[in-house]
Amino acid sequence: MRHTLRTKLNNIEKNVGREGLLTLRSRMAYIQRSTENLFPTTIYTADGKTFDAEVEHPVTKRPFKPEITSILDVATRRCVGFSIALKENVISVTEALRNSCCYYSIPAIFYTDRGPGYKNKTFDGDVNGLMGRLSITKMHALPYNSQAKGIIERFNGTVWNPLARKLPTYLGAEMDKEAAKAVHKKTRCDIKELYQRAMTPTRDGIPKSEEF
């Protein structure tokens, strides 16, 4: 019995029942798509990413991590549009798509995931849907299938992550937990101190507002 399990079963069959479907899928072979004969601006792919460093909120002035929506041309790997918002929604995706269409071209296919920012009535409406008005065919990747969006995932890892590491408020997953906690505590103390100094009355009885 042990000899059969060791020699007759492949790597996937040995782990059926031990691992979930997603882990088993990562062990399976996959077909790599070729873009050799693809013309520029034919297919755009988009994805959202939470920035790994904290910045100042435009309204509350509190630190937060913005959401960046990037759109890449599949043929050239060029970033044709992006938007920065408080969170990923249809407005941020539409803004990124507008930038890519205005400065480059309207694509034939828009390849995205199944998030609410991409699958909604604004894009898919029968009468006034944005995809129908621009004659764009929207296609969605399968759930939990990051290999299908390898181009945009690689872009997020090689462009936005190095940019976040340059900021002193970087709080990425690879950062040491104690260092991340110290940075988080330091930013909150700085905000509290700045607020107290700004609200301290001057000689004329007017609060200091130049530091806001």
Q: Please give the model's pTM, rounded to 2 decimal places.
A: 0.77
The token duo for 170 is 């970087």
For residue range 117-135, what is the model confidence (pLDDT) as tens digits? 999 999 998 888 999 999 9
CA distance 173 to 187: 18
pLDDT class of 212 with cuts at 50, 70, 90: very low
For residue range 44-96, what is the model confidence (pLDDT) as tens digits? 999 999 999 888 888 888 888 999 999 999 999 999 999 999 988 999 999 99
pLDDT class of 208 with cuts at 50, 70, 90: very low
Query: Which domains, and CATH codes, for the chain?
Result: 1-30 (no CATH), 43-165 (3.30.420.10), 176-212 (no CATH)
Q: What type of residue sits at position 57? A: H
Residue 194's contacts (CB-CB under 8 Å, 6 or more residues apart) are 211
- pLDDT value for 182: 84
CA distance 67 to 90: 12
